Chains A and B, each alone.
Chain A
Amino acid sequence: MTDIPLTITEAAEGLRAKRYSSVELTSAMLKRADSLDSQLGVYITRMDEPALTAAAQADAAFAAGVDQGPLQGIPLGIKDIIATKDAPTTAQSLILDRKWGEGIDAPVIARLRGAGAVIIGKTSTMEFAIGMPDASKPFPVPRNPWNPSTWPGGSSSGSGAGVAAGLFLGALGTDTGGSVRIPAAFCGISGLKQTYGRVPKAGCAPLGYSLDHIGPMTRSARDGAIMLQVMAGYDASDPYCADVSVPDYLAALTGSVAGLRIGVERANHLTWPGVLPEAVSAFEDAVAALASAGAETPEVVVPHYQQLRNANTLMLRAEASSYHLADLRVRFEEYGVHTSKAVSGGAFASSGDFVQAQRFRSLARQEISELMAPLDAMVMLTVGCGAPEVEGLNHASFAQWPVFTGPWNLLGLPAYAIPIGFTASGMPLSMQVVGKPFAEETVIRIADAFQRLTDFHLQLPPLVAAAV
């Protein structure tokens, strides 16, 4: 098999047209990993044998006339902080008890398997979803397929790089401050952080309890809709999971934005230090494309923007500190140096500060609700630059980069990062489509409509185009 499909949608059609089997598709993607993964560090654990067994089962189901939907026979990568019953979960850390999650599928994994998906491997992350690239620990240092000297973003690094490199057709990431959307942006793919509580997060090693989301990472927004359809819905194992009905996401993809009111947030994004001129022009081109397609694009300004970022950071560090403090006290050196520094930051905020952040969160929820009342969605940059170099990267240096994802974790709103162009050096750029609570169908509809007008999401990194 030489012509590997780019998207889940394309592969689902190919499988049903019998142009290839799931075993052939899965084998081709494993072969591509043989060729590329030593350069990219996508996998912590490859699951060749169970993946091929699952692929054979999917093929047998097709042969028996059983169609479980568009994920049947589709290879997916799983960020290695989500429990899978047939592979260990490390959180890319020496700290996590290897018995954690042993023999258990997280609810979201069980749902994907139930839809016939092929779990092809566990992907690299930043340690506990908060570290930074660290060659001193016995885990891969993930790299960006668009330029392997650069970072694919984090913390769902391997999931982002793996989708961009075509090592699997979709992946799960997790997002507490941007960890689905940042790698999606830097790798030129689509990454969705849906509404907080839309997808159960039980079976995922926590980072920030009130900020964590498990989200789909795919090339296209349409593929994201396919994954979310299976992942979404109430599960009692997650006390934060919302018992809210799940709409038909694919049915919402009309291809049209005509008549939608999409607020455009320039004020807090386009003049931020470090935002590249190419990012500004790509964003303006994207807004113009939406307007040409019939959307109204009024200017909006998110109030208390800096506080939104600060509150997310404070809460993330405080909640992570709560989870890690007991281990930090006795195993500080076993953590990666970036991780221990980041989670120790929780020690520098008081309990009163934490509650103040929660009071600010109440205020911000009300302010954004009022801002969005006359709108269907908002758009803004995801990041204002291309991927940074891996060498020398740490939290202090990355904090200077123009990254705009955290406020939507604090507010729990759906935010879809989609590609909008490239920097002068050929690295992907991205914008976010932000929606109202539980209005993923609108967010995905806008992202899908934009992708019907553009092909940035279908571009292949040169490294991959030259591979098998």
Chain B
Amino acid sequence: MPVPKDVPAAVRTMLEAAGLSVSEEEFKAFVEMYPMLREATDTLYVEEVRYEEPALVFTPVAPMKGA
């Protein structure tokens, strides 16, 4: 997914969808940060991954509860 043209609008939408209300200063920091996060995430869509299963394991037997 390419970095959206309107980064502030995209960031605002994603924050709202997550239910997060942030200050204007924090919002600016997220706007600055988002393109780097998006580009870093897009590097994971490499061709070799196409037929890989995700490294997710679920077992139907419930484990003991820890602390």
Chain A interface (Cβ within 8 Å of chain B)?
A: 83, 101, 104-107, 200, 202-203, 236-239, 304, 306-307, 310-311, 313-314, 321, 325, 328-329, 332, 337, 340-341, 344-345, 347-350, 353, 355-363, 365, 396
Contacts and interface: CB of A to CB of B under 8 A. Distances in A.
Given A237-B66, A314-B37, A350-B1, 4 more contacts: A107-B66, A236-B64, A238-B63, A357-B41
5 contacts: A203-B67, A238-B66, A341-B33, A349-B41, A360-B52
B31 to A, nearest CB: 11
Contact of A344 (B1, B30, B46, B63): B30
A324 to B, nearest CB: 10
A232 B40 CA distance: 35
A203 B1 CA distance: 38
Given A203-B66, A329-B20, A332-B22, A310 B53 contact: no
B54 to A, nearest CB: 3
Nearest to B64: A236
Nearest to A361: B55
Given A329-B19, A360-B49, A362-B52, A345 B66 contact: no
A153 B33 CA distance: 22
Interface residues of B, number: 37
Interface of B: 1, 11, 14-15, 17-22, 26, 29-30, 32-34, 37-38, 40-41, 43-46, 48-49, 52-56, 59, 63-67
Main secondary structure of the interface of A (DSSP, over half): helix
A280 B65 CA distance: 46
Contacts of B1: 350
Contacts of A101: 67
